[in-house]
Each structure stands twice: as structure tokens, then as C-alpha cells.
Amino acid sequence: MQGTNSPEAFEGNKILCHAVAYNLQCIGEGVYRLSKEFISSHKEIDWEEIEGLRHVLVHDYYMVNMRTLWNILQKDLPNLKRYVEAL
């Protein structure tokens, strides 16, 4: 993805940062809507952490560290994607 070749480049691309934050909000909202049964049967994923990130992004956006979003984008999101695609 253009603008994600380094954390500094990502942080410097405000439109991309906002787009990533918005999409992570959407993922968190989707997790919020999952049934308790589904969540309890898929404990490999920290659903609570994903939902918690959504709350931070929506309610405390001014506190969001773009380096944290970079790390989520690089490390956590690919694993989540693989897991969900396997379902």
C-alpha cells in the first residue's frame, strides 16, 4: 500500500492515517455486533481488544498514536485477515 513503506511515511500521510483509522473503526464495530457465542467459540482472536480500539478511535481520537496504527496495520491486521478468511 502506498504510504506504508515506513512508519514515518505513514504518519506523514494524514489522509491515509484517517482512512486506516476509519476502517479499523468499522472492523471494531463489526466485532461489537458479533454474537457472544461466536466470540466464545473463537478465542484465538482478542475480540475485546479490537472492540476497545474502536472505542478509542471513535471517542478519544485526539489520543490516537499513529505509530500504534502503523503497528496494527503491519502486524495485527494481516493475522486477523488470514484468520477471518479461513472461517
Asked if the structure places residue 66 within a domain, the reply is yes
Q: Within 10 Å of residue 85's Cβ, how many Cβ atoms?
A: 7
pLDDT at 48: 94
The answer to whether the CB of 28 falls within 8 A of the CB of 53 is yes
Structural domain of 61: 7-86
Asked if the structure places residue 2 within a domain, the reply is no
Total tally of structural domains belonging to the chain: 1
Asked if the structure places residue 1 within a domain, the reply is no
Asked if the structure places residue 44 within a domain, the reply is yes
Where do the H-state alpha helices sit in 1-87?
A: 7-12, 14-32, 36-41, 47-59, 66-71, 77-86
pLDDT in tens, 7-62: 999 999 999 999 999 999 999 999 999 999 999 999 999 999 999 999 999 998 77
Span 51-78, mean pLDDT?
90
Alpha-carbon span 32 to 48, nearest angstrom: 9
